[in-house]
Chains A and B, each alone.
Chain A
C-alpha cells in the first residue's frame, strides 16, 4: 500500500504533458513524469517521493515509437525493455536490456525510465554510448533534438519540465558487430558487478561500462590503449586497464581490485567475440 497521496494524469500529446507539468509545477505540486514506475512506486512506498502529481507519458504516441525512418532507428522512451527485446530492432540493445532486472519486471521498466532513474547503473545507455545516437526531448520550451552524449554523461541532464521522447540511432550503426556481458556477484537477477558492452568499428573497438564507476561511461582511454595491438593479449589488456578513470567502486558486490580482475577477463572474452 502506498500511503503518500498524489494525483495521476495521463496526457495524450507532447504539448499537453509539458503544459500540465508547467501548471502543476507553478502550483507547487513538484510533478514527476512517470513511465514504468518501478523506481517511483518503490520511493512512494517508502514515503520518499515528495511529489503531489504523476504525469504518465505512456499515452503519448511519440514516446511509444519503434520504427525506422530516414535511415535511423527511432526508439520511444516509453517502450518497455520486454517490448524492445521482443521487437529486437537492434540486437546489441536486446542483449543488453535482456539482462536487466527479471523477465516480469522488464514488462514494466521502460527505456527512458532506466536512463532517467536514480539507480546509477543505467545499463540501457551502454549501446547508445557506443554509437552516434541522438535524442529528442520535449518540455515547456518546446521540441529539442541533440546528440545523446550532450544530455547523458552517466545520468540524464534535462531542463525543468523536459522529458525524453525518443532516441535515434543510424541504421549503419545497428550492424556493427557487438556484444554485451553482465557479471553479477551472487544471483543471475541482480545489479551488476560489471556490465561490459563493446562494438568493433573500422577504427577499432569501442567499449562502454556500467558497474565499474558510479555511472555508466564510454571508456575512450581504454579504447585508445586497445588500439595498440603489438603486445600479447593479456599484457595488452593490463596496460589498457591502467587508462581507466579513478573511482572504481568498492561495495558489497565487489572490491575495486576484484572488479578490475573480472573486467580484464570479461574484456578478453568479449573482444574475441566481436
Chain B
C-alpha cells in the first residue's frame, strides 16, 4: 500500500526526466510542478477544474493538474508545455496568432497535443469536443481552432508524403 502521511521526498517522471521533489499529501500536481519543480507553464486559473489553464499530459492524455493530487501522479509520465520543446502544435499556434493575453495558451496547447496523439486525423467534431475542455477569456476560439486544424492538416499531409515515398520505394525495389 502506498501511503503519504507526512512531507515526503518522491520521484516524479516529468518531461522524460526522473525528478526528486518533496510533497505534502494534499499537494496538487499543479502546485508541485510550479512550486516544487519550477515548471510554471501550467497556469493556475480557476483551480476548480473549469478553465483548463493548468492542463498537462499524464500518460499522454490531458489532465487538469489542479484536479490531481501529486500522490496520484507517482508512477505516471507527466508532460508539461516545457517538455514540448518546439512541437508542431506550438508553431501552429504562433502562425495562427491563436492567443491574445496568452494565459490560457499552454493549457490549450497541451490539450491539442493530447488530441494529436490520440486522434492524429481528428475530425471537426472530435476537435471541438476536446477543445471545449478549456476556456479563453479573450475569446480567441476562432484562431485556436484554426491552429489545431492546421496542425492536423500538416500531420495528414506529412503522413500522405511518407506513404507516397514508401510506395515509390517499394516500386523501385
> A and B bound?
yes
Binding site for B on A (CB under 8 A): 1-2, 4-12, 16, 20, 37-38, 41-42, 44-45, 54, 56, 58-59, 82, 102-105, 107-108, 188-189
Contact mask for chain B residues 117-147; partner A; CB cutoff 8 A; 1 contact, 0 none: 0000000000001101110000000000000
Please, how many angstroms separate the alpha-carbon atoms of A231 and B26 in the complex? Answer: 59
- Beyond A37-B69, A42-B49, is A102–B2 a contact (Cβ under 8 Å)? no
Assess whether B49 is in contact with A38, with CB atoms less than 8 Å apart.
yes
Please, how many angstroms separate the alpha-carbon atoms of A20 and B63 in the complex? Answer: 29
Assess whether A12 is in contact with B26, with CB atoms less than 8 Å apart.
no
- Beyond A8-B25, A41-B67, A45-B47, is A1–B31 a contact (Cβ under 8 Å)? yes
Contact mask for chain B residues 35-78; partner A; CB cutoff 8 A; 1 contact, 0 none: 00000000000011100100100000111101111011000000
Please, how many angstroms separate the alpha-carbon atoms of A189 and B25 in the complex? Answer: 31
Assess whether B28 is in contact with A2, with CB atoms less than 8 Å apart.
yes
Closest-CB distance, B75 to chain A (whole angstroms): 10
Assess whether A103 is in contact with B130, with CB atoms less than 8 Å apart.
yes
Residue of A nearest to B64 (CB): A104
Is B1 positioned at the interface, with any CB of A under 8 Å from its CB?
yes
Residue of A nearest to B52 (CB): A104
Closest-CB distance, A2 to chain B (whole angstroms): 4
Closest-CB distance, B94 to chain A (whole angstroms): 23
| A56 cross-chain contacts in B, Cβ below 8 A | 71-72
Assess whether B24 is in contact with A5, with CB atoms less than 8 Å apart.
yes
Assess whether A104 is in contact with B26, with CB atoms less than 8 Å apart.
no
Assess whether A104 is in contact with B55, with CB atoms less than 8 Å apart.
yes
